[in-house]
Amino acid sequence: MSTAKTASQGGQGTPPAGTAPRTAALKFGRLDAAMQDVKTAIQRAKDHLFSLQHPDGWWCGELEADPMLEADYIFLHVLLGTGDAGKMRRAMTEILRYQNEDGSWSLYPGGPGNISLAVKCYSAGKLMGMSQDDPVLAKAREWILSNGGVIECNTFTKIYLCALGQYDYDAVPAIPPEIVLFPRWFYFNIYEISSWSRAILVPLSIAYAKKPFKKIAPEQGIDELFVGGRENSNLKLRWDRKRKISWRNFFIFIDRMTHWFERVHIRPLRTIALKKAEKWMIERFEMSDGLGAIYPAMLNAIIALRCLGYSLDDPQMLRAIDEFERLGIDVPEGNEHYSEPTFRMQPCVSPVWDTAQAVFALGEAGVERNDPRMLKAVDWLLSKEVRHKGDWAVKNRKAQPGGWYFEFNNEFYPDVDDSGQVLLALNKVDNPRERYQYDVCQRAIDWIFSMQCRNGGWASFDKDNTKMIFQHVPFADHNAMLDPPTVDITGRILETLATYGYTRKDKRVEKAIKFIFSEQEPDGSWFGRWGVNYIYGTFLVLRGLEAMGVWNHEPQIQQAAEWIRSVQNADGGWGETCGSYDDPNTRGIGPSTPSQTAWAILGLLSAGDNRSDSVAKGIKWLLSHQLPSGGWDESMGSNVTRQALYTGTGFPRVFYLAYHLYRDYFALLALTNYEKAMERAE
């Protein structure tokens, strides 16, 4: 298989003609003396990572998120009248662990309170029998009321409250199931919104049409969270008073017309729409770990099935609930980080992603290309190749299937990012089934090229999913209606393509590079859509550009490297909080974490910096923070209140993640790349 020098192998690109070659990097005595420490740390990190490998060959670290998942878990089982009472109590314990001093709950550790999350957590407490006079809820109620009360929540929260009689269906944005009837050539069709929004909204539209209602005891209600009382609150959507002619006002007008049709029962296509929505949903249960294999879609699908009349012992319902419950993690009593047993939910699972990252990092760290553990991992990855057309094919009809998804099974939704990373991993192993692996890789590369967007970049699940008008739809307040091309994914794909022999002579590659340069921020950084945040985007772009032979003395690259150096913490590490999505002025600011320190080092190395104090201090930070186990810790707080720091992004400004293996395989990759850079400089 033809390969080119990758970023991790140190390709620096070709300088313009007539330019003197770079001199060898100067040695730092203190670092040269510590190179044995680097080698020792690498070996310990490799041993630790292998110790986490499943006997079947894969890796899968926990995905941790905010307590909205546990609050929704309680809501679902109260609505259905199902669930394990013990698990629900332990889920409430988990929720209370995350409450802030001011009574609120945050989307990420250390972040500001979030009104939708706070209302859900408060409601969960009431559903679990807590009194509104309980000091915990009293403090939460005070914060919620001071921040506008229930009417400030997002649409999804309000619809869930409607199902328990705590909000009015007539006051929430309409999500009529007729949206599934719009033809694919029509501007407003469901394939013009992001794949995850599609999977969430189709079952939710069924619930909206059927309007489920579960009467709860008065003491379980949340009327006290309405400022001035529920009866005095104006629950309806508010017009844009600043601009009378705006897309928001247009969609609010459509929304009110839809509600009027609902009230007078003018719904001639409702039966047809419900049948099509049901068919669409159930078709996507197949070859998947639940609808979309993501928590909110799976939860909504369970509600939708019940609304459609499926009994709790129906095979479809049993399967949907079982897949949903598998996302749960029970934390037993006696765990070192918890004072009592808890139960938490994951938003999804990440075995393909974690396995590809682990194999790539281990391969870079010098694990033999025919190591049986690596071969087992690669064979498992090969077994997860997508061979059926999914939603992506609606706008990409001619392409043949290929690539990989994120979870154990999610055949309808492969993504470009996972596919690129798996290809990088496969390149690290000499598989006895060489021809088969070659064919799989070629199919994936062809599919990735077919998914390139018009502006040269790559998005995650769909092609040219960029109609900004959908951001103004009233139910789009989850801030994730679109899946536009991003520089972080594009950077990874450039590194992947370079690994398989593609160069800047390919017009598609050159178009991608132009897209990346057009997206650079004035300070030299790049925005990170799928990781927190500018450190993530910048490191992936720099690796992609280096792999493609872009000269590292180009002003854009040196400016990016200087930005990375400028945001280094005094302790030698790097960190950035999820708050940079709300305030870009805080980009690169946050407590040092192993994953973000590794990203910064990898970015600097790709920019040709292997000799600055910044790199030296960053390496020392990683070495000094390695645990006796060989891994790293990425959390804050005491043992009892410990929370993982979130360096992964679900939806900017809405939902964030802590990938529990990021701290390990990215730190290993950074140390390995540093070791190679120092060896080349000798």
Report, as residue numbers or ranges, the catalytic residues: 417
Element (H, E) at 262: helix 247-263
Element (H, E) at 418: helix 416-426
What contacts 341, CB < 8 A, 6 or more positions away? 90, 93, 330, 331, 332, 333
What contacts 1, CB < 8 A, 6 or more positions away? 427, 434, 437, 438, 441, 500
Q: What are phi and psi of 253, to 5 degrees?
A: -60, -45
One-letter amino acid identity for 132?
A: Q
d(CA 468, CA 447): 25
454: Cα separation from own chain's centroid: 24
What contacts 316, CB < 8 A, 6 or more positions away? 282, 285, 305, 310
Helix, strand, or coil (residue 377): helix
d(CA 148, CA 141): 11
Convert 178-223 into a string of H (helix), E (strand) and C (coil).
HHHHCCCCCCCCHHHCCHHHHHHHHHHHHHHHHCCCCCCCHHHCCH
C-alpha distances out from residue 95 to 117, 300, 331, 545, Å: 10, 21, 13, 43
Q: What is the DSSP letter of 8?
A: G
DSSP secondary structure string, 449-499? Answer: HHT--TTS-B-SSSSSB--GGGGGSGGGTTS-S-B--BHHHHHHHHHHHHH
CB contact at 8 A, 261 and 170: no
Torsion, Cα of 77, 199, 345, 421 (10° steps)? 170
What contacts 272, CB < 8 A, 6 or more positions away? 181
Q: What are phi and psi of 486, to 5 degrees?
A: -130, 155
Please report where in the chains the tokens 């998120």 appear, as a residue: 65
Q: And the tokens for 208?
A: 């909206």
* Cβ count near 640 (within 10 Å): 11
Please report where in the chains the tokens 């290309």 appear, as a residue: 369
Closest by CA position to 220, among listed 343, 95, 122, 138: 122
First vs last Cα of the chain: how many Å apart? Answer: 30
What contacts 278, CB < 8 A, 6 or more positions away? 206, 304, 308
Per the DSSP assignment, residues forming a β-bridge with 411 are none
Q: And the tokens for 409?
A: 């099974």
The burial class, CB within 10 Å (0-12 / 13-18 / 19+), for 29 is exposed
